[in-house]
Amino acid sequence: MLYGSILIIVGSMLILISWITLYRNSKENKIVNKGIYAYSRHPQYLGFIILIVGWFYGWPTPLTLLFAPILIYKYVKVSHKEEKELIQKHPEYRQYKDQVPFMF
């Protein structure tokens, strides 16, 4: 349970840092590529995935075994959809996509 709790805390911190970075840069109508977004294109989704893995690792039950892969799949799928929308809205996203890793 200790390792699962650590992963949940790390994932939560990553989500929080990502949201703060987005909020601070939300006034500009540009791609956020500063802070944590200079290292990962989807750090908030990565945070959710780490949190889910921690939840599964800390409390392995049939329910977490069922939902963990489904939730991870959904976060990866929504991030791909989001990228398609961003490319249409902001052509400079292609260059950002080439320079920064997907999640890690």
In a domain, 104, yes or no: no
Residue 26 lies in a domain: yes
Share of the chain above pLDDT 70, in %: 100
Q: Is the pLDDT of residue 18 over 90?
A: yes
- Count up the domains in the chain and report the number: 1
User: Residues 71-77: what's their mean pLDDT?
Assistant: 96
Residue 23 forms part of a structural domain: yes
In a domain, 15, yes or no: yes
Cβ neighbour number for residue 3 with a 10 Å cutoff: 11
Q: Which residue has the tokens 């990502």?
A: 18
**pLDDT, position 65:** 93
More confidently predicted of 28 and 35: 35
Whether 84 is covered by a domain: the verdict is yes
Predicted pLDDT of residue 104: 79
- Quickly tell me which residue has 């892969």 as its tokens: 69
Mean pLDDT over residues 71-99, rounded? 93
Whether 50 is in a domain gets the answer yes
Q: Is the pLDDT of residue 29 over 80?
A: no
Write out the residue range of the structural domain in which residue 17 sits. Answer: 2-99
